[in-house]
Structure 1
Amino acid sequence: MKVIGEKVTLRKIEIEELHALWELIYGVENPEWKKWDAPYFPLPHKDFETFQKEHREDKIIIEANGEIIGIVTYYWEHEPSKWLEVGIGIYNSAYWNGGYGTEALRLWVDYIMSTKDIPRIGLTTWSGNERMMVVAEKVGMQVEGRMRHCREYNGKRYDSIRMGMLREEWEARKEMVKAERV
């Protein structure tokens, strides 16, 4: 699997790249990215050997300018009903606010929708991560649910935000982009 965009490439990680990804995630105590990626959940430290043992062959990295900057993921909320959720993490803050996350999420949503028979695609974040909500909106998702004040971080209450896009909305968006290119 390899998807190439203008700014980023999504691809499976090579075994020899695992240490670089581990460094991005665990190489710094209290990493900046964790303040935005569900900071109300702890990030238990994993040594590299444990990280390497838990490595899954299907881990998809985001690469920009020849370096790993983050990952994209998906998981089944409920596979029998085809309820799938996606996620994205840009661990290298030098690539925040430059459109890298937006392009990566758009490519990932397009890939998932093109390869899986699902009626919708979802993403869950929290109201403290406004940039993530903007990125999700830019790729065509909308707020589908808001669980109020169910997250606490630094003594403040936040909402859990469920966003999503239906297959027909994704298809219409693809047609609109295709028409704009002509």
Structure 2
Amino acid sequence: MFTTDRLVLRAYTTADLPSILAIANNPLVQRTLIDEHVVPRSERFAIKLEEIANEALLYVVLEAVGSPGIVIGAASLAVGSVKNRDVNLGIGLIPDVWNKGYGAEATRFLVDYAFKDLGVHRVSLGVLENNQGAFEMYKKVGFVEEGRRRQANWLDGKWHDSILMGIVADEWLQRSPSQA
């Protein structure tokens, strides 16, 4: 278990599956995380969630400090390339805690952990253009836009880009603690 100022990042257990499935089934969350149709996810999707949790290099359930047992999100570091020491960051939060700094706090912790404790060289992620809050947060944390898949996601009757972002160890480690 890890803690930050306002978060507990703990190991996933099968008892967390209903909470994680509820987050994945929230239409507001789906619109910001996936480029597939926004539809209710079935029990079969729960199997996929368990695979993601069990196969990630690090998969943590997020709880606010002082609120044990109340899941506000989940985050992961998944191996992108072993040879190149690249991991993919993923994070999903319940809408009730959006724009309150929890995503940035979890992201900062996970990026720092990836570089300092896991010895990775780069952290990569993808963010959908319609998730402007996350895009701005990732930039503030230090991620750099590296590319776009133009018009890659059809949502609300129009096309949106899928943005590729990354940060490398040297960039992260050179930041002052107040920037990171």
Kept after mapping to 1: 8 A contact 2:24/2:41 = no
CA distance in 1, matches of 2:171, 2:97: 28
Tell me the equivalent position of 1:129. Answer: 131
Question: Which secondary structure does the structure 1 equivalent of 2:73 belong to?
Answer: strand
Q: Give distance in 1, aligned partners of 2:150 and 2:35.
A: 17
Conserved 8 A contact 1:33-1:93: yes
In 2, Cα distance between equivalents of 1:170 and 1:134: 17
Query: Tell me, which stretches of 5 or more residues in structure 1 are unaligned?
Result: none
- Identify the range of structure 1 (98-107 vs 66-75) with the bigger mean alpha-carbon deviation: 66-75
The alpha carbon displacement at 1:44 in A equals 6.2
Q: What is aligned with 1:69?
A: 72
Superposed displacement of residue 78, structure 1 = 2.5
Task: Report the equivalent of 1:32.
Answer: 28
Q: Deviations over 1:67-109 (max 9, x none)?
A: 111110122233222222111100x211011111111111111
1:19–1:48 CA contact under 8 A, matched in 2: no
CA distance in 2, matches of 1:126, 1:134: 12
How much does 1:169 deviate? 0.9
Structure 1 residues 8 and 48, CA gap change in structure 2 (3 angstroms): farther
CA contact under 8 A between 2:86 and 2:120: conserved in structure 1? yes
Distance (Å, rounded) in 2 between the aligned partners of 1:68 and 1:49: 19
- Kept in 1, the 8 Å contact 2:142–2:172? The answer is yes
Paired amino acid for 1:7: R
Gaps of 5+ in 2: none
Q: Which residue of 2 aligns with 1:110?
A: 112
Secondary structure of the 2:104 match is: helix
Q: 1:85 and 2:88 equivalent?
A: yes
- Partners of 1:18 and 1:52 within 8 A in 2: no
Post-superposition offset of 1:147 = 2.3
Give the match's secondary structure for 1:86: strand
Q: TM-score, normalised by structure 1?
A: 0.81
Aligned equivalents of 1:165, 1:50: Cα separation in 2: 31
The amino acid of 1:6's aligned partner reads D
1:14 is matched with which residue?
A: 13
Correspondence for 1:97: 99
Bigger Rg, structure 1 or 2 = 1
Aligned-residue RMSD, C-alpha: 2.6
Change (3 A) 1:166 1:50: closer
